[in-house]
Structure formats: structure tokens, C-alpha cells
Chain A
Amino acid sequence: MLKIDSVSKTFHAGTVNEVRALQDVSLSIEDGCFTGIIGTNGSGKSTLLNAVAGTFTPDAGSIHLAGHDITRWPEYKRAALIGRVFQDPFAGTAPDMSIAENIAIAMKRGQHRSFGFAVTRAFKDDVADRVRTLKMGLEDRLDNPIGTLSGGQRQALTLLMAVWTRPKLLLLDEHTAALDPKSAAKVAELTKIIIAREKLTALMVTHSMQQAVDLPDRIIMMHRGAIVEDYQDERKQRVRVPDLMATFDRVQKRELFDESVAGMLKAQYC
């Protein structure tokens, strides 16, 4: 289970560029729950995922995962519990190393890296079996550098690498956004299958309302560094794309209203 408790993060605090990217965010995710995160640009979705992944330590609050208080753990240590796929298809793999070598690195996540050979015959057979499930024909190209593959293929492999050791949590940050529509659909499909098959706990940021409705078990909407909506269980079952759009509008109107009220008050009292 993932438990985020009153986490706040302000970038460039005390300067004109101050951004309150996360404001007192709390969120609990049960084991085996696949949660989608939607929200406008700059609403703090990536920042929330990065806080969990350990890219930075939050200014306040705590983060617990699978019974560990990971708030102060460095990023590489959290990787023992967390698998990640980034938006950039180039971010998750080492381009000049082979498919098999990249997977060998992922296989040892959270374990001691010994002086034994990384890519053995037996390991390659295992890799071929699992890569075959992607249905991309990559099982015949295990010795090719990953840099020679398409973005969609790389992203599918990164996903496979992220779940290789069955992490306690899978973080996906718009991992289909940089792909062409066909590859995006394929990777989204794989995501759904793999998460269901491995019964993974996952957090997925997406810009696609349709994806948010189709894939996850729960949807969270963020705005200005806070969680403003949370669709769970039955409400999630019923929600459709137009409902999400309507909620977006409502959130934005409320903000406009707040701003105009603030403006009025300012005009009156200052």
C-alpha cells in the first residue's frame, strides 16, 4: 500500500518564480489498485510521481510504501520497490546496449550486482519468453542495441523492465504521450494486460480522458498542486469522458470565480 501524507513541495521558494507544485497532498492507494491521475498542465501530476519516486525530498509530509517510511530514501534505493516508465521513450533504456543487457540491468533492481556474467544462455531464454508476450517480434533481436528500436518498442520494453521484478508500485508518467497513435494504443493495451496479470499497484498520469476511463480502477484529478476529485469504485464505474470534461470546467470556473471575488475584495478594501 502507498500512503502519501500531507506532502508539500514548493520550487524556487521565496523568489518571484515560486511555484507551489504540491500543496498538502494526501492520498492512499490500496494494494492492487490501478490509479489514473489527470489534470491540467502544471497541476503537479509529475511532481507527485517524482515525490514518490524520490527525484526530490518533499518540504513537508511523509510517504510510506509497503510498510517502509521512504520519505528520506534516495531515488536509487526506492527503485527496489518501484518500477517506472517515463514520458520520454529515450529515458528508460541505455541506447547503445542490447535489449538483453538492458533487461539484465532491470532484473537486478534492488539486488546486489555481482561479478557474474549478466547475459547467460539461460537468462536469454527467459528473456525471449517474456519479450515474446509483447508480440512485437523483438525476441529475435535480443542482441541488437535498444537505440535501433522505435519509440513504441522501447516504451514496451521499458514497461517490461519496470515490472520484471514485480515492484510494489508502478509509476507511469504519460508513458504513451510521445508515441504515434498506433504505438500509443498498443502500449496502453500492454499496460492494462500486464498490470492485471501481475496484480500490480500502479499510478498512471495521462492526458487522455479516454485512457483514464478505460484503463484504471480509480481516477484522481489534480489542479494547482492539490487533489480536487477522486473517482473510486462505483463512481469510477459510471464515469465517462464527458463527465470528466464537465468536472474540469467546473474546477476551472470555480477558480475564475475565486479570483474575481479576490479582485473585488481587493478593490474594495485596498
Chain B
Amino acid sequence: MRAMEYVRPATPAEAVATVAARPGARFLAGGTNLVDHLKLGVASPETLVDVRRLPLDAVETYDGGVRVGANVLNSDLASHPLVRSRLPLVSRALLAGASGQIRNQATTGGNLLQRTRCVYFQDVTTPCNKREPGSGCSALEGYGRYNAILGASPACVATHPSDLAVALAALDASVVLLGADGERRIPFEELHRLPGDDAATDTTLGPDELILAVEVPTTEAARRSAYRKVRDRASFAFALVSVAGAVRVTDGVVEDVRIAWGGVAHKPWRARRAEAALVGQALTADAVRAAVDDELGAAETTPQTAYKVPMLRNTTVLTLTQLAEEEVA
């Protein structure tokens, strides 16, 4: 019989020390992803270190931004007045995800570290490099509707499923981490990684590093931001593609613009090339289209994913031009 230990540390430091000391230990938060993986046989940790009751559940301002504790529930974060007024993008991204029940259970930290929904990753009877390094990628020539089109590799074409992560990537957030060597802070964009030849590793975190909080700058652009998720049904579905956009236009010219995409890569995709192409230009549909096409020059598609290019282009144009119109109005 496979025994599994469940521990509930009293402090973040104790949680980190416990995971560091025990190979095969994993942090458990809301469990909406990890517990599924236990049932499916995708994960088989020897110890579950429950971090859910650690006092990491505050949403508070700091100089220039909002700090969100790792244990803040997705539904609480989405409805928090600070977030709704200063970071509407975060609120909309969260509400576009999962269902009311899941959001009531899911945490900020867990949401960011949820794993891909690739059907082969979740089916232990099929090869998957992410689950079993070296076994091969079944998605490459299999069910591909949700596959990546940017930054993928022959080892893995999975996409990152989080909506929240796309918003945070657009907003230049940072992640506060606690490891055995103490606290560190990394830019949000460095949290997730592209698969390369190591599909098993989703992030740049050490196995014993605990997310303490996420810090989100409340810039002017963040206030004028929008999240547009395109999916197969009207709710309770992962993104085919999604766009997090923020823009500031002065005298008819783009001064600041943020574009991040979901559903296209192993990590939330910050479209830096497109952003650079737009700054200093008038925000017209043509300009956005050209900028997006520039960024998507690197896209690699299959017959199953070819649709993502026009869908992303259109959705980005729609999102940014609507933001610009709102600003004028």
C-alpha cells in the first residue's frame, strides 16, 4: 500500500523546510489541480504539505502596487475592491476562469502553478515527456486543438492554462518566493519557462520554493486594461486563445502598451515585439494587426492550431482598439 503523509506546517519557513527535507513532498493549496492529479496517477507525492492555512491571505497596497498573498482565493481576489478598481484586468481574467465553485477553492499560488490541461499529460496510459521524461510527446501528432504555437519544442507542445497568469504577465508583476536560502523576488515573466528539451519543468522555481505573494504595480495602463478570452463554450472552458491588454494613448499616439497572450505557449506569452512596434504609433486596427503579425512571425502551426493565428490577431485588435475607444470616450 502506498502511504502518503499529510502535514500542516505552522509557518512558511516550516513548510519550506519540510519540503526541502523530504524528497517527494509537494505543497498543497486548494487542491483543485493537485488532488485531480493524485486520482489520475499523474502525481504521486509521498508527503503533502498543506500550506492553505498559512497566513498568506492578505490583499494590501504597497508603494506603487497591490500585494496579493499566495493563499488569497481566486473568488476573493476577483471581487476585492482594490483589484476591481486598480487592476480590473486581474479581476476579469480570474472571472473568465473555471467555475464559481472552483474559484472558491483555488488559491493565487495554486492557480499560477497549475499544470497543463493537455489530454495526454492527464492520461497515464499515453507517452508524455512532461509526465514521464523521455517517453515522447503524444500531442505533437495527436489531439492538438489546444497546442502551443509559440515557443514550443519537439519535446512538448503544451500550453499553460492559467488565465490569471496571462494578466499578471501583462502587468509586470513580480513573485515573492521563500526558499531554504531565504526570500527572493523574480519578475513574473521569469516564473514560467519554455519547454526546450526539459518538458517536465514548468517553472524556474526550486522544488522547495514557496510562493508567498504576488506584487502587481498599479500603473496608469493597468487601470485601462482588459482581458478577452475566446473559448469553445460560454463558460467553464480553457482558452483557445486569450488576450490581456493594457494601453495608454496620449495625443493619439501609443505611449505605453502591454500585450500578453494565453493559450499559445508553455507560458503566458508577453508579446514584446508587438508592443515595441506599437509604441509611438496611432492605435489603428491596421497598426495592431501589423504588430501582431510581427510577433506571430515566429508561430509554428499545424492544421489543428492554424486557427489560433487569425483568432489571436483579431482578438488582439478588438481588445486594444476597444480600450482606445473607451479612453477617447
Whether A associates with B in a native complex is no
B residues with CB within 8 A of A:
none
